[in-house]
């Protein structure tokens, strides 16, 4: 067993904070100027989708009973991206939003022209040697999703070379976790 100096220990990555988020969207045509109809971004942070189950009330022998109802798997998904000065990420999401509602002429698109699927992978990196038991990768697939809000977080300082954070809110109609299949 070898001992490490305090400097060596302080410079190690915190394994709790070192999960990698890989975000892959199949895009509607003509939204981003990246690879053909595909955007690959590293998200800085995102919310985790939730499932809500409702109840069905049944009157049984004069008494109300509650039983499980349907699952609701739709919701909003907030993601923070880091943008550089080129503005490609902001412009791409704005073009995507323009696909479903053109605010200059009022036209609204068919859902297949703007809805998309996103694959989100939360990966536990190989920080340890040997890799510990229980190191996992989680996959989330968001179905029928589209952006509903794009905002620059904070103010932009022209004299700084700091990246700009972009907050994007998507709506999705349902999601699947790793191993779940579409019906």
pLDDT at 36: 46
Burial of 24 (0-12, 13-18, 19+ CB in 10 A): middle
Residue (of 3, 13, 36, 41) closest to 124 by Cα position = 13
pLDDT at 93: 84
| Length of the chain as a residue count | 183
pLDDT (tens, 9 = 90+) of the chain, 183 residues, equals: 445 455 554 555 554 445 566 677 777 776 665 554 445 566 677 888 888 888 899 998 899 999 988 888 899 999 888 776 667 778 888 888 888 888 889 888 888 888 988 888 776 655 555 555 555 567 889 999 999 999 888 777 778 777 778 899 999 999 998 778 886
Gap between the Cα atoms of 95 and 102, Å rounded: 10
Spatial CB neighbours of 132, under 8 Å, sequence gap ≥ 6? none
């Amino acid at each position: 067993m070898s001992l490490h100096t305090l400097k060596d220990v302080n410079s190690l990555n915190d394994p709790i904070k070192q999960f990698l988020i890989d975000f892959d969207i199949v895009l509607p045509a003509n939204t981003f100027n990246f690879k053909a109809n595909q955007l690959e971004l590293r998200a800085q942070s995102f919310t985790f989708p939730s499932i809500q189950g409702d109840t069905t009330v049944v009157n049984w022998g004069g008494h109300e009973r509650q039983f499980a109802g349907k699952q609701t798997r739709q919701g909003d998904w907030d993601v923070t991206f880091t943008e550089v000065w080129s503005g490609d990420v902001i412009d791409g999401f704005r073009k995507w939003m323009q696909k479903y509602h053109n605010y200059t002429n009022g036209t609204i698109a068919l859902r297949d022209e703007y809805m998309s699927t996103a694959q989100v992978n939360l990966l536990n990196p190989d920080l340890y040697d040997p890799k510990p038991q229980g190191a996992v990768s989680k996959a989330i697939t968001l179905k029928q999703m589209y952006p509903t809000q794009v905002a620059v977080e904070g103010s932009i300082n022209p004299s700084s070379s700091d990246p700009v954070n972009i907050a994007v809110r998507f709506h999705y109609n349902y999601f699947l976790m790793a191993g779940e299949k579409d019906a």
